[in-house]
Amino acid sequence: MAHLIRHKLTNKLTNAAHTVSNKSQAKVSGVFARLGFQAATDDEGLGFAECDDLDYDYRQGMQMDVLQGEEEGGPMEGGGDLEGDSHYQRDGTGRRPSSLKPSGSLEEDKPKITTWEAGWNVTNAIQGMFVLGLPYAILHGGYLGLFLIIFAAVVCCYTGKILIACLYEDNEDGIKVRVRDSYVDIANACCAPRFPALGGHVVNVAQIIELVMTCILYVVVSGNLMYNSFPGFPVSQKAWSVVATVALLPCAFLKNLKAVSKFSLLCTLAHFVINVLVLAYCLSRARDWAWEKVKFYIDVKKFPISIGIIVFSYTSQIFLPSLEGNMQKPSEFHCMMEWTHIAACVLKGLFALVAYLTWADATQEVITDNLPSTIRAVVNIFLVAKALLSYPLPFFAAVEVLEKSLFQDGGRAIFPDCYGPSGQLKSWGLGLRIALVVFTLLMAVFVPHFALLMGLTGSLTGAGLCFLLPSLFHLKLQWRNLMWHHVFFDVAIFVIGGICAISGFIHSIEGLIEAFKYNIHD
Query: Does residue 181 sit in helix, strand or coil?
Result: coil
H/E run at residue 178 = strand 176-178
Q: Encode pLDDT of 461-515 as tens digits.
A: 888 999 999 999 999 999 988 999 999 999 999 999 999 889 888 888 888 888 7
**183 closest CA partner among 65, 281, 316:** 316
H/E run at residue 485 = helix 484-517
Asked if pLDDT for residue 12 goes beyond 60, the answer is no
What is the rounded distance in angstroms from the CA atom of residue 279 to the CA atom of residue 299?
26
pLDDT at 9: 56
Q: What percent of the chain has pLDDT over 90?
A: 24
- Quick check: 437 and 391 in contact, CB under 8 A? no
pLDDT at 8: 56
H/E run at residue 107 = strand 106-107
Identify the band that residue 233 occupies on the pLDDT scale cut at 50, 70 and 90. confident
Which residues face 176 on adjacent strands? Answer: 170
Mean pLDDT score of the chain, rounded to an integer?
Answer: 76
Give DSSP secondary structure letters for 185-235. Answer: HHHHHHHTTTSTTHHHHHHHHHHHHHHHHHHHHHHHHHHHHHHHH-TTSS-
Asked if the structure places residue 215 within a domain, the reply is yes
| Higher per-residue confidence, 94 vs 368 | 368
What is the rounded distance in angstroms from the CA atom of residue 142 to the CA atom of residue 302?
12
pLDDT at 354: 93
Give DSSP secondary structure letters for 339-356. Answer: HHHHHHHHHHHHHHHHHH
Neighbours of 169 (CB within 10 A): 23
How would you class 503 by CB atoms within 10 Å of its CB: exposed for 0-12, middle for 13-18, buried for 19 or more? middle
Asked if pLDDT for residue 33 goes beyond 80, the answer is no
Asked if the structure places residue 110 within a domain, the reply is no
Asked if pLDDT for residue 338 goes beyond 90, the answer is yes
Asked if the structure places residue 35 within a domain, the reply is no
pLDDT at 498: 92
Which residues face 113 on adjacent strands? Answer: 327
- What Rg, from alpha-carbon coordinates, does the chain have? 26
What is the rounded distance in angstroms from the CA atom of residue 150 to the CA atom of residue 141?
13
The amino acid occupying position 515 is: A
Neighbours of 8 (CB within 10 A): 10
Identify the band that residue 101 occupies on the pLDDT scale cut at 50, 70 and 90. very low
Give backbone dihedrals phi and psi of 327, rounded to 5 degrees, phi first. -80, 145
Neighbours of 288 (CB within 10 A): 10
Identify the band that residue 178 occupies on the pLDDT scale cut at 50, 70 and 90. very high
Asked if pLDDT for residue 439 goes beyond 90, the answer is yes
Asked if the structure places residue 55 within a domain, the reply is no
What is the rounded distance in angstroms from the CA atom of residue 164 to the CA atom of residue 182?
9
Question: Across residues 136-156, what is the average pLDDT?
Answer: 90
Asked if the structure places residue 513 within a domain, the reply is yes
Asked if pLDDT for residue 269 goes beyond 60, the answer is yes
Least trusted range by pLDDT, from 93-107, 171-185, 341-355, 493-507: 93-107
Which residues face 107 on adjacent strands? Answer: 99
- Quick check: 453 and 305 in contact, CB under 8 A? no
Largest CA distance in the chain: 102
Asked if pLDDT for residue 144 goes beyond 50, the answer is yes
How would you class 130 by CB atoms within 10 Å of its CB: exposed for 0-12, middle for 13-18, buried for 19 or more? buried
Domain range enclosing 348: 115-397+430-518
H runs (alpha helix) in 360-460: 373-390, 392-406, 427-446, 450-457
Query: Does residue 474 sit in helix, strand or coil?
Result: helix
How would you class 366 by CB atoms within 10 Å of its CB: exposed for 0-12, middle for 13-18, buried for 19 or more? buried
Q: Encode pLDDT of 212-226 as tens digits.
A: 988 998 899 899 888
Question: How many domains, the chain?
Answer: 1
Asked if the structure places residue 132 within a domain, the reply is yes
The CATH number of the domain holding residue 447 is 1.20.1740.10
Question: Across residues 148-165, what is the average pLDDT?
Answer: 94
H/E run at residue 177 = strand 176-178
What is the rounded distance in angstroms from the CA atom of residue 268 to the CA atom of residue 447?
27
CB within 8 Å of 205: residues ≥ 6 apart? none
